[in-house]
């Protein structure tokens, strides 16, 4: 195809790190799928706190600008690259892209795409790709929870926290969640026991429980909270650190937050190594897939990944489990707002205020 007839599309671009104001929408050539890739027409792209961290340069493994953000998508396969054998044109798929999803068309590796039933709402399904997948794998792949155990989740009214409460109820966990006073009712509606962190000490509260603690703590905040969370574990307990929200302050990267996060994470990891009866794990969703690649424009290097589970089939298996829970009505992903691609900046501005209201979705 000559450049004169090259298909055009729109995509969101981060030219330099910063707040929502650095986002802009550009028109560009549509990508062509390479070997093992499929080109997808995007139906829904999620906007998450992780996207804000990418935009601000506060995410581990963030690409250098310019790049297109967008961690997850649902779309329709419209072109197959060489060596594709599983998917067909017209198939509806979901993919964890890490970046690149905020575009009208995106190329993803066929092996990283998961089939999606065509009768489900793409905006609801995209909530499963990052938010509910994170919650599911925190509980089942990393913490390996058992029915009847007690778990504490920080930020219980946020997107992942809400998913943890729903999924924890499905498997019979006793759930506690830290939240602000305004979100107590929301946490309790999902069956969790709310701990108002502004007026209560979560560590003192859980130490009043039998066993003087909880079996599992899921910590998406990091920093000093991780140190206190370790002390909230009863013998046999597991702490899973999966986030670093304190490294982003008012939409911008916080160097002080990063220093505190690294120091606290190293300390709590050492405690876990030295403790005979308590375990510390770290979770990052993209660890599951070696060979990660998204190609909004040409190829990009994979994100660096650390230790931990890396079986790509786990992602597909867990996603199918989540689809089944969605069909049975046991989980209820909430779409806070659907915005056109041109309103990407507005979506990022809404992130902080919409955490307890559900998922923000860009609809190209």
CA angle 154, 102, 339 (to 5 degrees): 80
| 281 and 169 in a common domain | yes
Global pTM value: 0.86
* Confidence at residue 314, expressed as pLDDT on a 0 to 100 scale: 84
| 72 and 19 in a common domain | yes
- Give the tens place of pLDDT for each residue, 59-99: 777 889 999 999 999 999 999 999 999 999 999 999 999 99
How far, CA to CA in Å, does 178 sit from each of 103, 187, 211, 268?
35, 9, 20, 20
- Give the tens place of pLDDT for each residue, 181-213: 999 999 999 999 999 999 999 999 999 998 899
Domain boundary among 262, 286, 310: 286
Phi, psi of 304 (to 5 degrees): -65, 140
Domain boundary among 239, 255, 286: 286
| 270 and 306 in a common domain | no
Number of domains in the chain: 2
Domain boundary among 286, 317, 345: 286
Phi, psi of 231 (to 5 degrees): -70, -15
| 310 and 225 in a common domain | no
CATH of the domain at 303: 3.90.180.10
Task: Annotate 108-151 with DSSP letters as a single string.
Answer: EEGGGEEE--TTS-HHHHHHIIIIIHHHHHIIIIIS---TT-EE
| 197 and 279 in a common domain | yes
| 21 and 91 in a common domain | yes
| 219 and 177 in a common domain | yes
* Confidence at residue 255, expressed as pLDDT on a 0 to 100 scale: 66
| 95 and 16 in a common domain | yes
C-alpha 282: how far from its chain's center?
A: 14
Residues facing 176 on adjacent strands: 152, 193
| 198 and 79 in a common domain | no
Would you give per-residue pLDDT tens digits along the chain (364 residues)? 444 467 899 999 999 999 999 999 999 999 999 999 999 999 999 999 889 989 988 877 788 999 999 999 999 999 999 999 999 999 999 999 999 999 999 999 999 899 999 999 999 999 999 999 999 999 999 999 999 999 999 999 988 999 999 999 999 999 999 999 999 999 999 999 999 999 999 999 999 998 899 999 999 888 888 999 999 999 999 999 987 666 556 555 666 766 677 677 778 888 888 888 899 998 878 665 443 333 333 333 332 222 333 466 888 899 999 999 999 999 999 999 999 999 999 999 998 776 557 899 999 8
| 124 and 22 in a common domain | yes
- Give the tens place of pLDDT for each residue, 165-189: 999 999 999 999 999 999 999 999 9
Domain of residue 36 covers: 3-128+289-362
Residues facing 77 on adjacent strands: 40
* Confidence at residue 303, expressed as pLDDT on a 0 to 100 scale: 29
Local structure of 76: helix, strand or coil: strand
| 317 and 215 in a common domain | no
């Amino acid at each position: 195809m000559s450049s004169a007839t090259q298909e055009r599309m729109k995509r969101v671009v981060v030219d330099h790190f910063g707040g929502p104001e650095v986002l802009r929408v550009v028109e560009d050539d549509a990508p062509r799928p390479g070997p093992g890739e499929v080109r997808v027409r995007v139906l829904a792209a999620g906007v998450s706190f992780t996207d804000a961290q990418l935009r601000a340069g506060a995410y581990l493994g963030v690409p250098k600008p310019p790049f297109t953000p967008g961690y997850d998508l649902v779309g329709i396969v419209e072109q197959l690259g060489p060596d594709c054998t599983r998917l067909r044109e017209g198939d509806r798929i979901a993919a964890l892209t890490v970046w690149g999803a905020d575009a009208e068309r995106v190329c993803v590796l066929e092996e990283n795409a998961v089939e999606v039933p065509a009768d489900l709402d793409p905006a609801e399904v995209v909530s499963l790709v990052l938010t509910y997948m994170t919650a599911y794998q925190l509980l089942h792949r990393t913490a390996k929870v058992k029915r009847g155990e007690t778990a504490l989740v920080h930020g219980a009214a946020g997107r992942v926290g809400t998913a943890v409460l729903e999924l924890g109820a499905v498997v019979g966990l006793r759930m506690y969640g830290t939240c602000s006073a305004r979100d107590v009712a929301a946490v309790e509606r999902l069956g969790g026991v709310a701990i108002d962190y502004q007026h209560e000490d979560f560590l003192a509260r859980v130490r009043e429980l039998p066993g003087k603690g909880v079996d599992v703590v899921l910590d998406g905040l990091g920093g000093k909270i991780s140190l206190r969370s370790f002390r909230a574990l009863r013998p046999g307990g597991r702490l899973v650190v999966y986030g670093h929200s304190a490294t982003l302050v008012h939409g911008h990267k916080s160097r002080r937050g990063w220093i505190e996060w690294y120091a606290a994470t190293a300390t709590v990891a050492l405690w876990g190594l030295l403790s005979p009866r308590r375990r510390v794990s770290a979770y990052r969703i993209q660890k599951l897939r070696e060979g990660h690649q998204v190609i909004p424009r040409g190829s990009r290097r994979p994100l660096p990944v650390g230790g931990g589970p890396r079986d790509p089939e786990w992602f597909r298996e867990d996603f199918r489990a989540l689809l089944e829970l969605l069909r049975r009505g046991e989980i209820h992903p909430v779409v806070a707002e659907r915005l056109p691609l041109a309103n990407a900046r507005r979506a990022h501005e809404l992130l902080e205020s919409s955490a307890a209201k559900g998922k923000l979705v860009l609809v190209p």
